[in-house]
Amino acid sequence: MMTFRVSTVTPGVCQILVTFSSSVVTPGASIDEDNYVITPVTPTTAVSVESISVSTTDDIYSLLVETTDFTKDQDYLLTITPGVIHNIGGSFLIAPNNTGTFTATSSSPVVQRIYAIDEYTIRVEFSKEMSPGDIDVPTKYQFDNSLTVNSVCIISNAVVELTTSKQIPSAIYTLEIAP
């Protein structure tokens, strides 16, 4: 019998981890987005699968499933099309073992990447788009080591550039962002 478990990966990032009980020999079927359906346990906005990537370590076959936005603390059901994924022993993933539930831990954006463009500019890339009013206020961005934010330039709804006081070469700065 083949089974799987599902868990959230990182709070604020729309990803879930699907780990199968044994190695999968149908990798094409396992990464086909059409074989996965995510539905809220209590009906709300639908969630769709956007991409899937495979990870294998020590014969553990896992999938990282990227999705659209989750609702925080909402329970979801992941259903994998029965009969399309099987292991080396020929066991197929079939009902009732083709479903798993998980709880979305957060839908808040997180910083995915931050880097200096020059000695006065820092680019911040978020995990998802936000409204301009949530990202364009300089006082929301606080650095340590006396680095100040003078202005915010919105590059996109998920990317901002912070104009700062002069950054010291090779200095390490920590950024805190107020909610």
122 plus 97 within the same structural domain: no
Of 69, 103, 137, which one is at a domain's C-terminal end?
Answer: 103
Rounded to an integer, what distance in angstroms lies between the CA atom of residue 154 and that of residue 129? 11
- Per-residue confidence (pLDDT) for residue 46, from 0 to 100: 65
89 plus 41 within the same structural domain: yes
39 plus 69 within the same structural domain: yes
- Per-residue confidence (pLDDT) for residue 33, from 0 to 100: 80
Rounded to an integer, what distance in angstroms lies between the CA atom of residue 18 and that of residue 61? 8
39 plus 115 within the same structural domain: no
For the chain, the farthest-separated pair of C-alpha atoms sits apart, in whole angstroms, at 62
- Per-residue confidence (pLDDT) for residue 27, from 0 to 100: 63
- Per-residue confidence (pLDDT) for residue 56, from 0 to 100: 67
Q: One digit per residue, pLDDT tens: the chain, 179 residues? A: 567 777 665 545 567 777 777 777 666 777 788 888 888 787 666 677 777 777 766 666 677 777 766 676 778 888 888 888 877 777 887 777 788 887 776 556 778 889 999 999 999 998 777 888 888 999 999 999 999 999 999 999 889 999 999 999 888 999 999 87
Rounded to an integer, what distance in angstroms lies between the CA atom of residue 90 and that of residue 126? 42
Exposure letters 114-144 (e unless 16+ CB within 10 A, then b): eeeeeeeebebebbbebeeeebeeeeebebe
Here the CATH number for the domain that contains residue 150 is 2.60.40.1220
Rounded to an integer, what distance in angstroms lies between the CA atom of residue 21 and that of residue 15? 20
3-state secondary structure at position 77:
strand
Q: In this structure, what DSSP letter does residue 45 have? A: S
14 plus 57 within the same structural domain: yes
- Per-residue confidence (pLDDT) for residue 92, from 0 to 100: 81
- Number of domains within the chain: 2
* C-alpha pair distances (Å), 90 with each of 64, 86, 175: 23, 6, 51
